Structure 1
Amino acid sequence: MQVLVYGAGQLAQMMYLDGAALGIDVQAVDVSNNTVVHPVSKQPLDCSLEQAIERADVLTVEFEHVPEALLETAEQSGKLHPNKDAILVGADRVREKALLERLNIPNCAHRIVTDLTQLDECVEALGERLIIKASRDGYDGYGQWRLSQKADLPALKKQLEGLDLVRVPLVVEQMLKFDREVSLIGARNVSGDIKVYPLAENLHYQGQLHVSVAPATNSDDALTAKALEIFSKLVEGMDYVGVLAVELFQCGDTLLVNELAPRVHNSGHWTQAGADTSQFENHLRAVLDLPLGDTTNIGGDAAVSAMVNIIGCDDHDLALLGLPGVHFNWYGKTVRNKRKMGHINVTASGYKALGSKLEQLSGYLSADHFPELVDEAARLQK
């Protein structure tokens, strides 16, 4: 079995590593130059993109910002999972909002802006506290602006001058006072079987995910059922195949969709050490229409996991490998500010034990680059 992944980053690398155990040959496409490469070494392989498409059983993606011309060719092959329209939904917030409205899925109150004069109408309709997002090419806090009071609107308009809002509209959302962000990672295979992982609770810093904890604290069957209903509507409404990540704002007992990611996702990395079957293996199983693997936590109902992102640094102490239940993953990238360099998965038999392990882990990491870790460790130990 052979799978060709569009994108040659760490997600393709982790798919390759999990696929090898199943006898699945995973190759990657560097979409900047259409070169087929080895997902780990990044060395070019001795075949053209056309040859790789012909040989592959399935084509898939590791990120949603694949050039549309490449996606169109992939779709025409009849081998692409998830389908092109689903991938484009993840790459374009306007398409994403249209899908959520069509499927009657709760999401943040919003307006689409193609001219800066429309911002005045947004304030009148949504209030003066707003989140403004570029509809494309924005992630990890990039391409986002905030309005805290109406008096700052002229300055915000000036800041946005020069943007081509006809080509890349803005999605303007009401700034919510939500309790927390959770995410649901799940998979649907070609046959329509669905399996989801426990809800993960996500902690962000400066627009980037820093820590995920799964299962989410203070979650119950009712909350999980609401998330599963949303997930099921989405995958069936898009005829989706593969792993899908759904980021959700929790406001009391209500869940609102924040964003969709049509691929394996950062908040699901904990599944490598904490779940019976990782999200990477289940994505390959799904797109190849193999039986989906068990998504429950290893260790039973008391077992919990955390994922800690390593962002913009390489100054960790590898003595952390001596900590029980700690699993280190390094991507082999050149250090750059705000760049995801790797992640650490931590498993434990309960939230207090997990908090204790995260506290121990913090001693091997720079506090400057992991500013939320100590507080999260303390929260879990309460």
Structure 2
Amino acid sequence: MNVLVYGAGQLAQMMYLAGAPLNLNVLAVDVANKTVVHPVEKTVLPQSLEQAINDADVLTVEFEHVPEELLLVAEESGKLSPNLQSILVGADRVREKHLLESLNIANCEHEIITDIAQLDGICERLGEKIIFKSSRDGYDGYGQWRSSTAADLPELKNIFTKLDLHKVPIVAEKMCPFTRELSLLGARNESGEIVVYPLAQNTHHEGQLHTSIAPAPLLSEALQAQALDIFTRLAEKLEYVGVLAVELFEHDGVLLVNELAPRVHNSGHWSMHGADTCQFENHLRAVCALPLGSTEHGPAAAMINIIGCNTFSKNFLSISGVHFHWYGKTVREKRKMGHINVTANSYADLADKFGNLSEYLPMEFFPKLLADADRIK
């Protein structure tokens, strides 16, 4: 089968690598210039986008911010999975909030701002600690602004007056005093079969994911069941096909949905070595109408992002259970350059391996690594 992925970054690359053993031919689309490229080599291929769509059995995406005109053509082909509605929900926080509300799924108290006048009195309604998020194109901490006190609002008003809030509204969310950040990844195929991975515990720094640990420490059956219920309701409502990521806050034993990502996700990279079937293979299985793979997993696994650096000793590969994935990008501040996966026999073993890794890595680029080790010992 031929699979065409919209987006030509590391997620398309990892889909290609997962698809090869299944005899799936995966190509990618550079959506900036509408060229068809090899997902690993990044070389431009001779066929046009129109030809590649015709040749493909399945069209899918590696990220949700694909230009809508390209998605409309993909949807018209009848080959797009997940469907257009699902991708647009992931790309637009207003659509996302409406979906969550329609299903009575808990999320942070919020207001949708389409006019600067709506900021008047907002601290009385939501409290002084508010995070403002652009409804589109915001990720990894971009397109976000924080208010700690009411005194921050005049400066934010000056910023927002320069934006077209009618075209791209802002979602103002009350900052939730959550215990921890979690994510659930699962897959659903066209026949309605669903598999999910264990909840992962995520640590962010300056708006970017730095580490994911799975299963999340102190994970109860009740919390996993709550997450499964949220995933199932969302996936069935959307008639979703593929891997879906649900980012969550845990607060007093209750899960609040933070964001949805209609695709394979950074917090699921640990599954490449820590689960029976990784997220990339399960996404391809789902969109290609193959049976979904088992999500059975080991005692403890983790993913550590390599962000903004390439100066480290690869001798960390001498540590058992450590695996290295490099994306082949030019170094840039805050850019995800690759990741390290770690598998362990216990959380204590995982913490020890984090400590061992710190001997080989420039720790200014891994500011949460040792703190995470302390949390899980």
Report the Cα offset of residue 378 of structure 1. Answer: 2.0
| Map of 2:284 onto structure 1 | 284
User: CA separation in 2, counterparts of 1:315 and 1:151?
Assistant: 41
CA displacement 1:7-41 (0-9 Å, x = unmatched): 00000000000100110000000000110110001
CA displacement 1:254-307 (0-9 Å, x = unmatched): 100000000000000000010000000000000011000010114xxxx21000
Matches within 5 A, 1:220-235: 220-235=220-235
| Map of 2:238 onto structure 1 | 238
User: CA separation in 2, counterparts of 1:93 and 1:20?
Assistant: 34
| Map of 2:34 onto structure 1 | 34
| Map of 1:379 onto structure 2 | 375
| Map of 2:115 onto structure 1 | 115
| Map of 2:269 onto structure 1 | 269
Letter matched to residue 155 of structure 2: A
User: CA separation in 1, counterparts of 2:23 and 2:141?
Assistant: 38
> SS of the residue aligned with 1:131?
strand
User: CA separation in 1, counterparts of 2:160 and 2:365?
Assistant: 30
> SS of the residue aligned with 2:4?
strand
| Count of paired positions | 377
CA displacement 1:301-347 (0-9 Å, x = unmatched): xx210000000000121111111100000000000000000000000
Structure 1 counterpart of 2:335, from 336, 339, 343: 339
Aligned 8 A contact 1:129 1:148 in 2? yes
Aligned 8 A contact 1:8 1:37 in 2? yes
Matches within 5 A, 1:247-326: 247-298=247-298, 303-326=299-322
Report the Cα offset of residue 123 of structure 1. Answer: 2.0
CA displacement 1:319-377 (0-9 Å, x = unmatched): 11111100000000000000000000000011000000011011110011001111111
Aligned 8 A contact 1:190 1:288 in 2? no
User: CA separation in 2, counterparts of 1:258 and 1:181?
Assistant: 9
CA displacement 1:205-262 (0-9 Å, x = unmatched): 0100000000001111000000000000000000000000000000011100000000
> SS of the residue aligned with 2:363?
coil
> SS of the residue aligned with 1:47?
coil
Which runs of 5 or more residues in structure 1 are unaligned? Answer: none
CA displacement 1:52-103 (0-9 Å, x = unmatched): 1111110000000000000000000000000001001111100100111111
User: CA separation in 2, counterparts of 1:223 and 1:127?
Assistant: 28
Of 124-133 and 3-12, deviating more is 124-133
State the percentage of identical aligned residues.
64
Letter matched to residue 129 of structure 1: K
Aligned 8 A contact 1:4 1:29 in 2? yes
Report the Cα offset of residue 161 of structure 1. Answer: 2.7
Report the Cα offset of residue 160 of structure 1. Answer: 2.5
Letter matched to residue 347 of structure 2: Y
| Map of 1:367 onto structure 2 | 363
| Map of 2:14 onto structure 1 | 14
Give the TM-score normalised by the residue count of structure 2. 0.99
User: CA separation in 2, counterparts of 1:4 and 1:257?
Assistant: 30
C-alpha spacing 1:140/1:324, structure 2 compared with 1 (3 Å):
same
Find out whether 1:164 has 2:160 as its counterpart: no
> SS of the residue aligned with 1:225?
helix
Instruction: State the superposition RMSD in angstroms.
Output: 0.8
User: CA separation in 2, counterparts of 1:184 and 1:318?
Assistant: 30
User: CA separation in 2, counterparts of 1:113 and 1:339?
Assistant: 30
Of 212-221 and 123-132, deviating more is 123-132
Letter matched to residue 62 of structure 2: E
Give the TM-score normalised by the residue count of structure 1. 0.98
Which runs of 5 or more residues in structure 2 are unaligned? Answer: none
